[in-house]
């Protein structure tokens, strides 16, 4: 026979077990997998610099028409930045900054409704005293003049074959998307880009 005091400690242990279980901390949730992209570190002499990664898009607008009649390979033309480029809340390339492009190929429009074709590529955008190299190409082809050739032949016979297609052109206001050609560092304190890595002297160099 169990004495009246025999159940005391055992019963207390049984009753305390659920309370102890409730007081244990919940296990920490498993960490979710994540992709970590390594970025070039800022140079030691500019620890507050912002990285503007390669292929950051820069939206540009052509200011004056570029066409096959007035241009030749190597001709340069002006664009302007159409939207702020922002990194970490800081504007690194502002609206209105001037950019430059270059005509790469010209194929004149010709007789028998032959359309003109013009090709162009971006060079750089000017930000303060710095030039930031850009990549990006466009190719514009004019409209063929087939319908006009038919009508001209109906009215002028074989002379209608002289009807020309339209010029290839980048119209004023054309949006030309460019991309930063290489990783660049922007110094917020100075409000400008640091020279490209290949042009920066190593720390401590004379």
* pLDDT on residue 163: 42
Output the pLDDT for position 35: 40
Tell me the C-alpha distance between 186 and 40, whole Å: 13
Question: Which single residue is written with the structure tokens 């850009």?
Answer: 134
Instruction: Say whether 161 sits in a helix, a strand or coil.
Output: helix
The residue ranges of every structural domain in the chain are: 50-188
Distance in angstroms (rounded) separating the CA atoms of residues 42 and 48 = 7
**CA 82, 87, 91: angle at the middle one, nearest 5?**
50
Tokens 């504007």: give the residue.
91
- What are the structure tokens assigned to 85, written together? 């480029």
Q: Which two tokens stand for residue 44?
A: 């030691």
The class that CATH gives domain 50-188 is mainly beta
Strands (E), 85-183: 85-87, 90-93, 98-107, 117-127, 130-135, 137-141, 169-170, 175-180
Q: What is the pLDDT of residue 117?
A: 87
What is residue 153's predicted lDDT score, i.e. its pLDDT?
A: 39
pLDDT at 116: 79
pLDDT score, position 62: 96
Q: pLDDT by residue for the chain (206 residues), tens digit each?
A: 454 555 565 555 555 555 555 555 666 666 554 443 344 566 677 788 999 999 999 999 999 999 888 889 999 999 999 999 998 888 999 999 999 999 999 887 644 446 778 899 999 999 999 999 999 999 887 654 444 333 333 444 434 333 445 778 889 999 999 999 999 999 998 899 999 876 665 555 54
pTM over 0.75, yes/no: no
Q: Phi first, then psi: what are they for 195, rounded to 5°?
A: -60, 155
Whole-number pLDDT of residue 200: 60
């Amino acid at each position: 026979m169990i004495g009246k005091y025999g159940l005391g400690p055992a019963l207390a242990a049984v009753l305390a077990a659920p309370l102890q279980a409730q007081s244990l901390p919940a296990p920490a949730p498993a960490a979710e997998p994540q992709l970590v992209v390594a970025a070039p570190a800022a140079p030691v002499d500019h620890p507050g610099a912002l990285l503007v990664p390669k292929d950051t898009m820069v939206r540009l607008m052509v200011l004056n028409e570029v066409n096959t009649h007035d241009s030749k390979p190597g001709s340069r033309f002006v664009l302007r930045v159409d939207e702020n480029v922002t990194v970490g809340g800081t504007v690194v390339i502002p609206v209105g900054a001037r950019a430059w492009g270059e005509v790469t190929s010209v194929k004149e429009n010709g007789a028998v409704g032959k359309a003109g074709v013009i090709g162009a590529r971006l060079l750089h955008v000017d930000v303060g005293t710095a030039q930031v190299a850009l990549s990006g190409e466009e190719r514009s082809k004019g409209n063929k003049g087939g319908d006009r050739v038919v009508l001209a032949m109906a009215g002028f016979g074989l002379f209608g074959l002289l009807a020309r297609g339209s010029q290839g052109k980048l119209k004023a206001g054309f949006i030309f998307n460019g991309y930063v050609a290489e990783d660049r560092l922007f110094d917020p304190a100075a409000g400008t880009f640091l020279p490209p890595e290949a042009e920066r002297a190593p720390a401590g160099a004379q």
